[in-house]
């Protein structure tokens, strides 16, 4: 079972379509159940699009790292309610 934390780690690959069928499927299933990750993916997609839009103007790799750090930290702070072992 895919957890929010796992999803955060592979979300950008998912958006880029770089995950295999099985992995993308487990993300899709998770997104159906998890509103938080749906908005997380939505935000990430939007940032990715923004970055593509600015691709002609040089994008600092640091910016991308910083955005990813921020969303990952936000997700971890949120402590998903479907956390087993609770
Ligand atoms: Zn989730």
The structure tokens 């690959």 sit at 13
The residue ranges of every structural domain in the chain are 4-78
Find the 65 Cα to ligand 1 centroid distance in Å.
Answer: 21
> In this prediction, what percent of the chain has a pLDDT beyond 90?
47
Instruction: Please report, for residues 15, 23, 25, 57, 76, the alpha-carbon distance to residue 70 in angstroms, rounded to integers and kept in the order given.
Output: 17, 23, 25, 23, 10
First to last CA, the chain: 16
Q: pLDDT tens, 24-57? A: 999 999 999 999 999 999 999 988 888 777 655 5
Find the 49 Cα to ligand 1 centroid distance in Å.
Answer: 22
Does the pLDDT value for residue 19 go beyond 90? yes
Find the 78 Cα to ligand 1 centroid distance in Å.
Answer: 10
Query: Full-prediction pTM beyond 0.85?
Result: no
More confident residue, 63 or 73: 73
> In this prediction, what percent of the chain has a pLDDT beyond 70?
83
Find the 42 Cα to ligand 1 centroid distance in Å.
Answer: 12
Please list the helix, strand and coil fractions of the chain in percent, rounded to the nearest 5, in that order.
70, 0, 30
């Amino acid at each position: 079972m895919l957890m929010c934390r796992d999803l955060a780690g592979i979300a950008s690959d998912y958006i880029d379509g770089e995950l295999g069928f099985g992995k993308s499927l487990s993300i899709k299933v998770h997104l159906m159940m998890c509103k938080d990750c749906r908005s997380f993916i939505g935000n990430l997609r939007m940032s990715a699009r923004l970055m593509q839009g600015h691709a002609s103007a040089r994008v600092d790799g640091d910016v991308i790292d910083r955005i990813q750090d921020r969303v990952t930290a936000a997700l971890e702070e949120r402590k998903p309610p479907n956390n087993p072992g609770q």
